[in-house]
Amino acid sequence: MAGSFSRGRRYVLLLVLLCCFGVVLFRLFTLQVLQAAELSVKAHRQHQKTVSLEGARGTIIDRHGKLLAMNVEVRSVFGVPNALANPLKIAQQLSPILHVKTDELERKLRQNRSFVWLARKLDPEQGQQLDRLSLDGIGVVMEGRRFYPKGSLLAHVLGFSGMDGEGLEGVEHRYESYLRGEKQMMVLQRDALGRTVFPKGMAERSPTPGQSLTLTIDEVIQYIAERELEDAVGRSQAKSGTMIVLDPKMGAVLAMAVSPRFDPNAVSALGPDRWRNRALTDAYEPGSTMKAMMAAAAIEERVVRPNTMVFGEHGHMTVANTVIHDHERLGWVSFAQVIQKSSNIGAAKTGMALGEQRLYRYLQAFGFGQRTEIDLPGEGAGLVRNPRDWGRRSVASISIGQEIGVTPLQMVSAIAAIANGGVLMKPYVVSEIRDPDGHILRQIPPQVKRRVISPETARSVTRILEGVITDGTGTKAAIRGFRVAGKTGTAQKIDPRTGTYSVSRFIGSFTGYVPADNPQLAMIVVIDEPQGDAWGGAVAAPVFSRVGEQVLSYLGVPSNAPVTLAMAPRKS
């Protein structure tokens, strides 16, 4: 009886052992076979972190190779919350260096994660302070940070890039696919103590940098334009200002200045209104600068000649139950004098003789109401309504620069077409794209859009516009030793409260080209809401003169000024 009981106990024990052994075998089978893939991934998550890094963005240089945008290697700091014993203490140590609140850092460091970014792309001084701390569980990787060595110079054209290296505005955004470096996934290894172990040879496997851009912009011309524009806006206490300098024969943008300026190295505290490129986004009523294009259309269509006599109605004319005024009480004057003295009545009469269909056709031909297709983002099309939507006064109004919205870029492109013998060019800012080794991948040539007027008409209009400088409203645009052709403009802004023209808010502008007999520069200056004397001839024309004089000298363009020789007196 005792023997059988003993044998029973042995059977039970054996059965228990077999069951335990089966459970262990089953558990091993589950871990090593059924859950192998899942557990492997989990292990990798605990000991590895994949971080996406990008190659350096391509550089941006001016037409002479001057550096405008580049990448610098800076530190980015991360934490490993799972490896930290005292997150609060570490957060307190990092806070004054990273300029991040302690509670925010602590919240990140207490997350149940193996990797968390604490701060990206630190200033060099911050990186040095961080290195001196040498904290366990805190690591650093090097990343490229966009840097603009000229500060605010050309900021509205260059734009800027974001924290992740993506171009957000300007050339940086428009050419993002070229400038962006190759992405590389970097695996950060961690040992059992939570220390970062970087993969062997990681430095040799750095991602490929992006392609580089050469601009049509000339850094010196840009500096001159920005300085003079900023000075004019400040002296006139204006709201803002814009200036564009073009090569009229090529369409290449030599300078594009906007005031007020901003520093693309520090845009986090600024809003879109500050970095918006008003030169190509903001439409305005051009006022009398439109008379140059109306004159070109009328002469091309043989409606008038420069010596055609026009009666000025002594400064007062009724059109569609409204009154058009002139600032001078003119009688009979030649059509050339209509433009030179900026007669609204003479221009309105000429426009009405031209007719709405022909006027509309030439507005389109000069590029108004459509984008110039410049290689920059955010360009506006302006506003040119279809003739079927025009009122009884519209032809007269458009002829004097009202009931139409243009951008500064459209206007300077149109005046450049006259300077270029009647041929409209496509404006552009990037001339070359190069690979990281400096080899040219693509060259962007000048592009003709269309012929607008004949060379004969262009020469005729040029002579008229020269008279604006010598005997008309644009005398302050004169440049000693050079023949200048151009047109002033003063436009009332619409009062948003009343929907009518304001009596106190104006836009003063001047557009023209020089030398008139062989144009090298086409320029426009727009001053928004100047205080005091708001006439374009007073606030914008002098800027044209000062910039033109300096740029012509810089380019070495010979003047027509007579040479005076200093002769030593003869000895008797």
H or E segment and range at residue 397: helix 394-399
Cα distances from 396 to residues 316, 332, 412, in angstroms, run: 14, 19, 22
Distance CA 426, CA 173 (A): 20
Q: pLDDT tens across 403-455, in order?
A: 999 999 999 999 999 999 999 999 999 999 999 999 999 999 999 999 999 99
Closest-CA residue to 519 (of 484, 559, 562, 560): 484
Distance CA 311, CA 329 (A): 11
Residue type, 462: T
Asked if 259 and 153 count as a contact pair (C-beta separation under 8 A), the reply is no
Q: Looking at 212, 288, 342, 545, which residue is catalytic? A: 288
Query: DSSP for 428-491?
Result: BSEEEEE-TTS-EEEE----EEEE-S-HHHHHHHHHHHHHHHHHSTTGGG-BTTB--EEEEEEE
The separation between the first and the last C-alpha atoms of the chain, rounded to the nearest angstrom, is 162
Assign 358 to helix, strand or coil: helix
pLDDT of residue 129: 78
Q: Please give the biggest Cα pair distance in the chain.
A: 162
pLDDT of residue 198: 47
Q: Going from the N-terminus, what domains does the chain have, and what CATH number goes with each?
A: 219-555 (3.40.710.10)
Distance CA 325, CA 316 (A): 5
Q: Which two tokens stand for residue 444?
A: 């962007």
Q: pLDDT tens across 358-403, in order?
A: 999 999 999 999 999 999 999 999 999 999 999 999 999 999 999 9
CB atoms within 10 A of CB 298: 26
CB within 8 Å of 271: residues ≥ 6 apart: none
- pTM surpassing 0.85? no
Asked if 283 and 290 count as a contact pair (C-beta separation under 8 A), the reply is no
Is residue 288 annotated as part of the catalytic site, yes or no?
yes
Which DSSP letter does residue 563 get? P
Distance from chain centroid for Cα 26: 66
In the chain, which stretches have pLDDT less than 70?
1-7, 12, 22-24, 26-54, 184-206, 562-572
478-484-485 Cα angle (round to 5)? 120
Go through 440-453 and write b for each residue having 16 or more CB atoms within 10 A of its CB, e for each that does not: eeeebeeeebeebb
Specify the length of the chain in residues. 572
Distance CA 14, CA 10 (A): 6
Assign 386 to helix, strand or coil: coil
Distance CA 544, CA 252 (A): 18
In three state form, how does the secondary structure of 220-249 look?
HHHHHHHHHHHHHHHHHCCCEEEEEEECCC
Closest-CA residue to 385 (of 365, 366, 363): 363
Bridge partners of residue 245, in order along the sequence: 255, 523
Distance CA 89, CA 110 (A): 12
In three state form, how does the secondary structure of 274-317 look?
HHCCHHHHCCECCHHHHHHHHHHHHHHCCCCCCCCEEECHHHEE
Cis amide leading into 542 (omega within 30): no
Asked if 527 and 233 count as a contact pair (C-beta separation under 8 A), the reply is yes
